[in-house]
Structure 1
Amino acid sequence: MSRDAVDLRRPVLEPRPVEVAALPQQLTLDLSRTAVVAVDLQNDFCHPDGWLASIGVDVSGAAGPIGALAATLPALRAAGVPVVWVTWGNRPDRANLPPGVRHVYDPDGASTGIGDPLPGGSHVLELGSWSAGLVDELVPEPADLQVAKYRMSGFPDTPLDSVLRNLRVDTLLFAGVNTDQCVLATLTDAANLGYDVVLVEDLCGTTSPDFCTAATLYNVRQCFGFTTTSAELLAGLHP
């Protein structure tokens, strides 16, 4: 770019195909056009002092994929795959949340809902707070990107789509919690926007009953895309 001219050409991305075992069929992925989308791996959902645990939810299922993701990300980063952290982080005044969303998380109007204080002093899912922060075991690298969301899906009312398109990716590897809720909602919107979607089973977790995960995996394979595991991804990177 100069005072007199602007070059609008994008870099030409050299294809980097890898073969990955998946369901319902084996995949060929282009690593140069692939990103990891990691959803809601934050304290309020996964930590024993977070919001869900404070209202009596067993968060062990949400914390389950943390170790596997921490072990998998270095190899994906080394292969040049961008990592995008999508976490629920609301405005402190909750001005962009419609009544229906606020009701879902405080149905009787007298419980601990979005934006309410927790015993440790943080506020539920508030942007910039400990509650909305990633768990300690997952440390973003400087090149990683972070996007705050305000709904089950990471796409409405956020820059996620713009970020991904500027990365020039069209295949998304999904990790995070909850498998059957925010991960599925974000994956579904991604598929509807034209991205190719792959849910990495052991990098996702949920506090819901097991049948919810089974239904999610069925629907992803049947209607939206593919499922694989971190072991199969790593095997594809290092055949």
Structure 2
Amino acid sequence: MTAPTAPHALDPARTALVLVDLMDRIVALPLEPHTGREVLARCEELAARFRAAGAPVVLVRVERPGVTEQPPGSDLAHGLLRDGDIEIVKRTIGGFHLTGLDDRLRGQGVETLVFGGIATNLGVESTARAAGDLGYELIFVEDAMTAFTAPEHTASVTLDFPRLGTVAPAAEIAFRKD
């Protein structure tokens, strides 16, 4: 008997995890419907699964343009970045504009992006919309992202994201076994 296929069985050679703005100063904010710590923990679990499968992990963080020193807590959350991960520094709301992210992903043969991070309706959605415009298949991990208010998060995951790709819980993200 064959084991059932996971609802979102992904090809690790063509899939990357994109985690947006998981920086201490952002994770610590009052967020809904999931706390920043809950989202960080779920994203760390997803990143471990992607690394174990040999799939790329992209960590996007923001820096404020035109300032000599970034605010405290502007680095990625402690321990999140691992050898082999792709760190992207953005200076706009989305992670693609003038960052070289598309070239790096295409250079690795990536066609599908799995998203998590903070804030659902801002950095995550802006990065995902650009990715969609570039032709990537999109998967949104609902419980691996959060926003400043629950209604903002809910609007993105129930109204916007289903039009751009697939929305799924972290438990359904798995890699196919060939």
TM-score, normalised on structure 2?
Answer: 0.85
Equivalent residue in structure 1 for 2:75, among 122, 133, 137: 133
The answer for the alignment partner of 1:41 in structure 2 is: 22
SS at match of 2:153: helix
The answer for the alignment partner of 2:57 in structure 1 is: 83
- CA distance in structure 1 between the partners assigned to 2:42 and 2:142 by the alignment: 11
Structure 1: gaps of 5 or more residues: 1-17, 22-26, 48-52, 95-114, 117-121, 125-129
Whose strand proportion is higher, 1 or 2? 2
- CA distance in structure 2 between the partners assigned to 1:217 and 1:191 by the alignment: 15
Q: Size of the alignment, in residue pairs?
A: 171
Aligned residue identity for 1:85: L
Note the C-alpha offset of 1:59: 4.6
- CA distance in structure 2 between the partners assigned to 1:191 and 1:20 by the alignment: 24
- Give matches, 1:186-225, under 5 Å: 186-207=127-148, 209-218=149-158, 219-221=160-162, 223-225=163-165
1:45–1:59 Cα contact (<8 Å) kept? no
The answer for the alignment partner of 2:167 in structure 1 is: 227
The answer for the alignment partner of 1:69 in structure 2 is: 43
Note the C-alpha offset of 1:19: 4.4
Note the C-alpha offset of 1:152: 0.9
- CA distance in structure 1 between the partners assigned to 2:63 and 2:128 by the alignment: 19
SS at match of 2:144: strand
Aligned residue identity for 2:150: D
Note the C-alpha offset of 1:139: 2.5
Percent of counterpart pairs with the same letter?
27
2:9–2:173 Cα contact (<8 Å) kept? no
Structure 2: gaps of 5 or more residues: none
Structure of larger gyration radius:
1
TM-score, normalised on structure 1?
Answer: 0.65
